[in-house]
Structure 1
Amino acid sequence: MALTQQLARVSPQYLVQCRAAAARSSDGNPDWDPPAEDTLDLDWAIWGLIWFCQRMQVEGQRIRVLRRSITGDQGGDVGFLDHPEVYDGFDSPPAVLAPAAVAEVARDLAAMDVDELLRSLPEDRFAAAEACGFRGFDGHPREYLVEHFALLQGFYGIASRRGLAVLTWKD
């Protein structure tokens, strides 16, 4: 099974509920079950976009925003989510972006133009896939990257408007 980037929009109150459930549970199960409409599977698209931006020496702040959007911030007291019911344990446990940080990321993502980021993406599908670190990619990656970047922008925009936190993890 391939690793994919996962995101979930949750309220701070939901995190408190999950923390309490984990404390009550004999095995630390946090009863993690955010609504499907508040979760997003980004596959590995944003990793490829970051890879491409690094190779093209895109301005560092944009890369930092992209990276932060999928890796969260350090701390955040979400260690209780380090549980098999939340993620598969292959990579580091979930990380969180608090509502204020979500608003920052949403603003910065909204200011980005993915077409500008991909301006120098090669026309040849094999060269374009290689430029994104996608070996064996089927087709040209432009549409895949644009679609997933739009999903990321929209996801953060909604989270910001609703005053929610965002959890990030690989599964």
Structure 2
Amino acid sequence: MALTQQFARVTPDYLDRCRTSALTSPGASPGWDPPDGDLLDTGWALWGLIRYCRSTGADPEAIALLDRAVSGDPDGNVGFLDHDDVYDGFGDPPRLLAPAAVADVAAALDRLQLGDLLADMPASAEVAADVCGFGPRSDIDVREHLTEHFVALREFYRTAARHTQCVVTWID
């Protein structure tokens, strides 16, 4: 099974209920089960976008923003989500962006000009895929693939910010 980047929008109250469940349930299960509409799987696309931006010397602030949106903040208190019911244990445990951080990331994603970042994308699908770390593939339109997943991420964060939600990120 391929590793993919996962996101969940949840309320602080939901996280509190999960924390309480982890403390009181057998096996420390957090009872993690966000609604499907509050989940996002971006596959490898955003990792490819970040890799591409690094390879082109893109604005370090843009790279830091994308990395934060994908990786969460290191100081979120969600150790209780380090559980088999949440993720498969590959890589780091889930990380959190609190509502204020979500609002900041959402606003910054809205300001980010993806077209500018992708302006020098190689025309060859095979070369573009390779530069993004997808391997030498020619079966996708890389620019379209990156754009689709970036737009989904931006909308996901916008919605979370509008509802004062947290975003939890993890690799599964």
Find out whether 1:149 has 2:150 as its counterpart. Answer: yes
Q: What does 1:65-104 correspond to in 2, within 5 Å?
A: 65-104=65-104
The alignment-based identity, stated in percent, is 49
TM-score, with structure 2 as normaliser:
0.97
- Structure 1: how far apart are the matches of 2:71 and 2:85? 20
Which one-letter code corresponds to 1:60 in the other structure? P
Which one-letter code corresponds to 1:153 in the other structure? R
Gaps of 5+ in 2: none
Is the 8 Å Cα contact of residues 127 and 136 (structure 2) preserved in structure 1?
Answer: no
- Structure 2: how far apart are the matches of 1:136 and 1:78? 38
Runs of 4+ with >4 A deviation: none
- Structure 2: how far apart are the matches of 1:80 and 1:8? 15
SS of the aligned residue for 1:8 comes to strand
- Structure 2: how far apart are the matches of 1:73 and 1:119? 29
Indicate the residue corresponding to 2:63 in structure 1: 63
Which one-letter code corresponds to 2:171 in the other structure? K
Find out whether 1:35 has 2:39 as its counterpart. Answer: no
- Deviation string 1:51-73 (CA, Å, 9 cap, x unpaired) is 00000000000000000001000
Superposed displacement of residue 136, structure 1? 4.2
Indicate the residue corresponding to 2:105 in structure 1: 105
- Structure 2: how far apart are the matches of 1:99 and 1:140? 34
Gaps of 5+ in 1: none
TM-score, with structure 1 as normaliser:
0.98
SS of the aligned residue for 2:123 comes to coil
Indicate the residue corresponding to 1:130 in structure 2: 130
Find out whether 1:118 has 2:114 as its counterpart. Answer: no
- Structure 2: how far apart are the matches of 1:168 and 1:28? 20
- Structure 2: how far apart are the matches of 1:140 and 1:14? 38
Aligned length: 171
Superposed displacement of residue 77, structure 1? 1.1
Is the 8 Å Cα contact of residues 124 and 140 (structure 1) preserved in structure 2?
Answer: no
Which one-letter code corresponds to 2:153 in the other structure? L
Superposed displacement of residue 139, structure 1? 2.4
- Deviation string 1:10-48 (CA, Å, 9 cap, x unpaired) is 000000000001111110100000011111001010000
Cα RMSD, aligned residues only = 0.8
- Structure 1: how far apart are the matches of 2:126 and 2:44? 17
